[in-house]
Amino acid sequence: MAAERPDQNGELQTWKEIATYLGASVRAVQMWQKQYGLPVRKPQGRVTATRTELDQWKQEQASRGMLPAMSPELANVAAKVGPAEGASNPGAQRPVTPAVTSRWRIAAALVGVIVVVAGAVRVRSWWLAAAADSEPVDYRLNKRLLSVTNHKSERLWEYRFPVEVLPHDPHEALLVGRMRQKFEDIDGDGRAETVIAVYEEARTLLWCFGPQGAVKWNFEAGKAVTDTRGRTFAPPYRISSFEVFAQSGEKRIVTSANHWWSFPTQIAVLDANRRVLGEYWHRGHTLALATGDLNGDGNPEILAAGVNDAPEYRQATLLVFDSRSVGGCSRSPEGKAYFKDMPPGTERAEIFSQKVNLAFARSSTRQLAWR
C-alpha cells in the first residue's frame, strides 16, 4: 500500500494526516470534530481538512486558554507535515479538551483542599497537646518552694517565697490537709492563673501567679474592726476558704478570713486585680464557701457555712448573699449591727441550726449551689 502523503496545496485527506498535523491521536481528533467543531469535511465519504482552517481552529482554542505547549516530540511530528502558507506556527501548541482540563483542575483543587485540611488538623492537634501540656493542674509546696505541674506531673514553673509557708493554718484542725488552690483564667486572657492561699507568720495570704509563674498580686485579708462593746480586733486574719466564680462575664474571687484568736470573720469579694468590691463582717467564723445560681436569675449566690457565736445565737449558721451585693455586718435579733460604723448586713438569708458537721456543711453547700 502506498504511503499516505499530505496534499501539497494544504489539504489533508485522512484522519491520520489530520491527527499527525495536530499532534494528537486519530480518536482524539474524531472526538474534537464531533464535540468542539474541528473543521473536517466528509465529501462523498472521504475525509478532508485544510491546514489553514485547522490552524485557525487551533488559534481560537489557544485564545481560550485550552492549548498547553506542545511537547518537542509532537512538535517534530507536526513539523514533518508542515504549516499552511502564511499561517502562524501550528506546532507550537496542541489542543486539550475542556473536559480533560476541568477534571485536572478539579482534581488539583481537591488535592489542595485535602492537604490544607490535613495540615490544619495536625496543627490543631499539636496546638491542643501543647496547650494541655502548659496548663497547671497541681502543685507541691516544700517550705519556701512552690512547684506547679501539668497533667504529666512535669514542672511548669517554681517560685520561692520570702519566708517559709504552709498550705493551711496549723492551728485550725478543720483546715489541716485541705488544699486551697485554684487554676483559673482570672483575667480573661485564655490562660490559667494559679491562685493559692498559704499560711505564713500567723496570717494567710492569697497569691495569684501568671501562667509563667510571675507574681501578679497577693492579698492580705482583714482589717482592724471594733464591735459595739468597744473591743478592737486587729490583724492578722487567716483565710479559711476561697472560691472563684463568674459574674457578668468577669471572674470574681470570694474569700472567708477569720480573726487569728477571736470571732470576727471577713467575707470579701475581689475582682481579677484583688480590688475589694464588697465585704461583710460576721460575728463568728465561716469555714466553708460555695457559689451557684440558686434562683435561676443568671447571677450566682454566695453561700458561707460556719457558726454565729453571739450570746443570742451560738448556733451553726448558713449565710446566703447576692454576689453583686455583699456588705454590712451581722445583726442581733433586734436588728442592731454587731460592729461599729457598719450598716446591717446585705445577706439574703441566714439559716440557723443547733449542730452541724462543718466538713459535711462544706459538701452540702456545694451540692446545693450546683443544683
pLDDT tens by residue, 62-88: 776 655 444 444 444 444 444 444 444
Q: Is residue 5 part of a domain?
A: no
The residues of the chain scoring below 70 in pLDDT are: 1-9, 64-104, 119-131, 169-179, 355-371
Report the run of H or E that residue 62 belongs to, with start and end.
helix 51-63
**Is-contact 198 184, C-beta < 8 A?**
no
Position 6 in a domain: no
pLDDT value at position 127?
52
Q: Do 237 and 307 belong to one domain?
A: yes
How far is residue 304's CA from residue 318's CA, in Å, rounded to a whole number? 6
For residue 113, give its domain range.
97-133
Structural domain contains residue 2? no
175 and 58 in a single domain? The answer is no
Rounded Cα–Cα distance for residues 22 and 79 (Å): 10
Q: How far is CA 214 from the centre of its chain?
A: 22
286-292 β-sheet, strand order? 286-292, 301-308, 315-322, 349-353
Cell representation of residue 202: 500567723
Residues 201 and 62 both lie in one domain: no
Give yes or no for a contact between 320 and 302, defined as CB atoms under 8 angstroms apart.
yes
Q: Are residues 126 and 190 in the same domain?
A: no
Of 68, 95, 122, the last residue of a domain is 95
Q: How far apart are CA 251 and CA 243, in angstroms?
A: 10
- CB neighbours of residue 275 within 10 Å: 10
CATH of the domain at 73: 1.10.1660
Task: Write down the pLDDT at residue 331.
Answer: 94
Same domain, 200 and 308: yes
- The reported pLDDT for the residue numbered 324 is 95
Residue with cell 440558686: 294
Nearest to 261 by CA among 222, 287, 235: 235
Same domain, 109 and 150: no
pTM: 0.62
Give the pLDDT score at 99. Answer: 54
